[in-house]
Structure 1
Amino acid sequence: MLAIITPVRSLLVAIFVMMAGSGFLSTLIGLRLERAGSGTMVIGLIATAYFGGLVLGALRAGDVVRRVGHIRAFAAFVALLSASTLTYALLQQPLLWAVLRLIDGLCIAGVFICVESWLNDRAEAETRGTVLAFYMVALYSGQAIGQLLLRSGNSAPQIPFELASILISLAIIPVCLTRSAAPALEDAASLPLRRLFAASPLGVVGAGMTGLLLGAFYGLAAIYARRIGLSLADTASFMMTVILGGVALQWPLGRLSDRFDRRRVIIACFAATLGVSIALAMAPTGAALFALGALFGGLSFALYPLCVAFANDRLLPSERVTASGQLVLLYSVGAALGPIGAAAAMTAAGAGGLFLFIAFAAAAMLAFGLWRLAASDPVPAAAQQDFQILPRTTPVAALLDPAGPEPNPENR
């Protein structure tokens, strides 16, 4: 096991440290804007700017990597992200912060493209699943642990931004000192969206709708937590609980979908997400809130890889990697729209409006899924590919799927 990750250990350390520094910024920025008296719609629009940056970066950052190489591009993206993070501590102005969040999203997408394409080049076909699993652990554990840094601002409000900037800057070191040769980033093939939708309407709509509900959550969950009376420390714990719950349930639900009709598992997850969201909208307290948060994370985080797996079941093997890249872009577009809708719901219905909006999105997807269940036949069990957990980052992450193409040995 250690021999498999040794060639990529510097990349895994870098992504862990970077996510520990940047993964809590959405929570922190939402809380600071709330405390300064910004309206819910303003907070939602600033959250949307971040996801818009992710979409822009996923589409354009690859050009930078091809032009200057992985190590220089990684250093440039991380340096700009670190500078952006420090700028939040200098001036709290919503328009400026929206621009900074757009820059943050673009930079993080660039970092993901560098790391994921590099991991794909280092991994052998038979070890991709293991490399991907360690990458997911590094990414989500860093994001979860980073939530604890929210508590560092009690003595001085700028400290969380400074700590975030320090960690983000430190992420450059293991990459710049690596002995591993950086690969060439190849152009990705294209798959018309019409062809993808015709092959798997449920997979396409499900990926976009999952982005809608998770974008809403990441953008405004901290505001929800504070408005129902949680302390800053409990808000950090709630966010961490949701993320860790999301990691815990993805594999069991995925294995369940391998054994049964995957459409039914997807529909059941959306139905359960609907129920949990309604319960969270009622603002439970104590252990019930954290239990429901963990369950929400487990269900909602599993939806995207389930939708990708189902779409891949209905595609040719040669189309699967490109399709997965298209689906992560659809997810990102949905995530950019989610905070706006959730902000409007919270403005109308209070804190619980966040989860009412998520419940509405889950209900719409549940209805669509039931229609697709009646309108189409299941994929034969023998034709289903094995479920694989995939990050919701950039189209390059699809290359880490064990079903993807062979890495180019000339780039090693």
Structure 2
Amino acid sequence: MRRNLLPILALLTSTLFLFLGNGLQGLLLPVRGSAEGYSNEILGLIGTTWATGFVVGCFVAPNLVRRIGHVRAFAGFGALICLNVLLTGILVDQTAWLILRAVTGFCTAGTSMIIESWLNERATNESRGAIFSFYISITLFGVVGGQMMVPFADVSTPILFMICGILYCLAIIPTAVSRAASPQPLKRVRLDLKGLYRNSPVSFIAILLIGTANGAYGTLVAVFGARAGLTEDMIAIMVSVTILAGAVAQFPAGRLSDRMDRRYVLAGLAGLGAVAGVGLSVFQPANVYMILILVSLYGAAANALYPIAVAHANDHASSEDFVKISGGLLLLYGVGTIIGPSLGGPVMTWLGPHALFAVTALSHILVTAYAIFRSRIRAPVPVEERDSYAGSPALAPSLTTPESLLLNPRAAEGGSDQDQERTAS
């Protein structure tokens, strides 16, 4: 393990600081925005513009990296992110925040794609699994660690924005001074919506709805906490507990989906997430411990859905199509994260802060209904022919790029005879 990780230590260190900054900024903005009296619609749009910038970055950033090189591109993207977060703390204006957040999303896609492609080039078939798992762990620790910094300073001052800028500067340094050779040019991203739907209608619809629910929750849950009267430390705990519960649930949920029709597992988990959403939106518990229990239940269900939906899509595709199918689904998830905050903000204004969970519950109910409906139309892939489940770093609210899929050990597997015989109707 040490031999595999030492050559990429600089990249992993940059990854840690990058996601620490992402986690801190992602929670700080809605908390500060709520304190400034920004409307739910504006706070939702802040999440929408970030997701839009991120998705656009997945398409455009590779061309920029090809022109100026990985190291200079990474330093440039990182500097822009740092500049943006500092300007966000200075220009406390909702219009400025929307513009700055879109640029940050774009640059985050660029920095993530560079790190992920660099890690992939250093990985061998023997070390790919270890590097992939370590990368997932670092992204998770970084996001949660950044979120937990919020209670340690007054959100009404520029201090946390300055700390966030420091973290982004620290993310630039290890990669900028690394002696590792630059990787090959980034891959072009192609989104074949018709092909994705033909391959697996359930995964197509489910991923879009999962992105909608996770995008709304990831952007607006801090707004819910502020409007519901929770303290800043409890908001940070609530958001972090959701992610940690999802991380814990992925393994048992994935193993269960390896043994039975994945559509039933999708339906069950989505149903569980809907129950948690209904409990929070209808009963509106005031007890903070009951809220934590319900959001933990929500996180365990909602954050385990994405990798199972991807695995189901790969069940109906040949192994060599893993990157194309999974990359398309990842970008489709990004489209959902654009829709979710745009829908959640107005609903919260109309029906109150707890209505955020009505949006997530409706999305999960639709996933449950469609998964059960499709299970009556199409026979499941036999267990012995299925793609094996693997966890995903795409835990809400943070996105990874299609480059991360190349780190997955399944990306290096060749197609088998059984793969070639599968149909995708």
TM-score range, shorter chain: over 0.9
Aligned counterpart, 1:98: 98
CA contact (8 A) 2:140 2:393 kept: no
One-letter code aligned to 1:249: A
Distance 1:406 1:265, change over 3 A: closer
Match for residue 404 of structure 1 among 391, 405, 411: 411
Q: Secondary structure at the match of 1:126?
A: coil
Shift of 1:155: 8.1
The aligned residue for residue 194 of structure 1 is 194
CA drift of 1:53 comes to 0.7
Alignment check: 8 A CA contact 2:272 2:297 kept: no
Q: Distance in 2 between matches of 1:90 and 1:154?
A: 15
* Pairwise CA distance, 1:88: 0.9
* One-letter code aligned to 2:284: A
Counterpart-to-counterpart distance in 2, 1:30 and 1:125: 42
2:369 to 367, 370, 380: 367
Checking the alignment, whether the CA contact within 8 Å between 1:321 and 1:399 is kept in structure 2 is yes
2:356 corresponds in structure 1 to 354
RMSD of Structure 2 on Structure 1 (CA):
1.7
Asked whether the equivalents of residues 152 and 159 of structure 1 are also in contact (C-alpha less than 8 Å), the reply is no
> Which segments of 5 or more consecutive residues in structure 2 lack a partner in the other structure?
395-399, 415-425
CA distance in structure 2 between the aligned counterparts of 1:7 and 1:283, rounded to whole angstroms? 50
Aligned to 1:410: none
Q: Is the 8 A contact 2:246 2:303 kept in 1?
A: yes
Letter in 2 for 1:136: I
CA distance in 2, matches of 1:189, 1:347: 37
2: CA distance, partners of 1:326 / 1:118: 21
Give the aligned residue type for 1:6: L
Counterpart of 1:236 in structure 2 is 236
Contact kept, 8 Å, 1:220 with 1:339, in 2: the verdict is: yes
Deviation of the 1:15 alpha carbon:
1.0
What TM-score results when the alignment is normalised by the length of structure 2? Answer: 0.92
Change (3 A) 1:189 1:353: closer
Shift in Å, 1:406:
7.6
Residue 131 (structure 2) pairs with residue 131 (structure 1): yes
The aligned residue for residue 314 of structure 2 is: 312
Distance of aligned partners of 1:191 and 1:230 in 2 relative to their CA distance in 1, 3 Å threshold: closer
- Does the aligned pair in 1 maintain the 2:35–2:156 contact within 8 Å? no
Distance 1:55 1:245 in 2: 26
Q: Shift in Å at residue 325 of structure 1?
A: 0.8
2:391 to 378, 389, 392: 389
CA distance in structure 1 between the partners assigned to 2:293 and 2:30 by the alignment: 23
Q: Secondary structure at the match of 2:182?
A: coil
Partners of 1:66 and 1:184 within 8 A in 2: no
Please tell me whether residue 345 in structure 1 is matched to residue 347 in structure 2.
yes
**1:178 partnered with 2:178:** yes
Partner SS state of residue 23, structure 1: helix
Residue 334 (structure 1) aligned to one of 330, 333, 336: 336
Output the amino acid matched with 2:333.
Answer: Y
The aligned residue for residue 301 of structure 1 is: 303
Q: Residues 163-207 of structure 1: CA distance to partner in whole angstroms, max 9, x if unpaired?
A: 000011101111122232121124347463212211101111111
Give the conservation status (yes or no) of the 8 Å contact 1:69–1:184: no
- Superposition pairs for residues 11-410 of structure 1, below 5 Å? 11-154=11-154, 157-188=157-188, 190=190, 192-281=192-281, 282-284=283-285, 285-392=287-394, 393-405=400-412
CA distance in 1, matches of 2:299, 2:292: 10
CA shift digits 1:118-174 (9 cap, x unpaired)? 111111123222211110110111100111221233286100100000011101111
Please give the secondary structure, in 1, of the residue aligned with 2:317.
coil
The alpha-carbon distance between structure 1 residues 406 and 67, as it changes in their structure 2 partners (threshold 3 A), is farther
8 Å contact 1:70–1:114 — kept in the other structure?
A: yes
> SS state of the match for residue 312, structure 1?
helix
Paired with 1:156 and 1:226, the residues of 2 have a C-alpha distance of: 14
CA deviation vs aligned residue, 1:322-361 (integer Å, no higher than 9, x gap): 1111111100010011001111211121111100110011
| TM-superposition CA deviations, 1:86-130 (whole Å, max 9, x none) | 001111111110000001100111111001111111111232222
Letter in 2 for 1:328: L
Moved more, 386-395 or 111-120: 386-395
Deviation at 1:314, TM superposition (A): 0.3
Deviation at 1:295, TM superposition (A): 2.3
Q: How has the CA–CA distance of structure 1 residues 354 and 140 changed in structure 2, closer, same or farther, with 3 Å as cutoff?
A: same
Distance 2:168 2:390 in 1: 29
How far the C-alpha of 1:217 sits from its partner, in A, is: 0.7
Name the CA distance, whole Å, in 2 between partners of 1:339 and 1:54: 14
Find the aligned partners of 2:138 and 2:193 in 1 and give their Cα distance: 32
Cα distance, 1:366 vs. partner?
1.2
The 3 A distance-change label for structure 1 pair 291 and 209 is same
Deviation string, structure 1 residues 218-243 (Cα, Å, up to 9, x no partner): 11000111122211111111111112
Q: Percent identity?
A: 34
The 1-side partners of 2:325 and 2:365 are apart by 25
Cα pair 1:228 1:283 within 8 Å, conserved: no
1:191 and 1:144, CA in 2 relative to 1: closer, same or farther beyond 3 A?
A: closer
Output the TM-score relative to the length of structure 1: 0.95
Closer/same/farther in 2, CA of residues 283 and 2 from structure 1, 3 Å limit: farther
Alpha-carbon distance in 2 for matches of 1:50, 1:302: 23
Distance 1:90 1:155 in 2: 13
What is the CA-CA distance between 1:310 and the residue it aligns to?
Answer: 0.6
Out of 201-210 and 181-190, give the one that drifted further: 181-190
Query: Secondary structure of the residue that 1:24 maps to in structure 2?
Result: helix
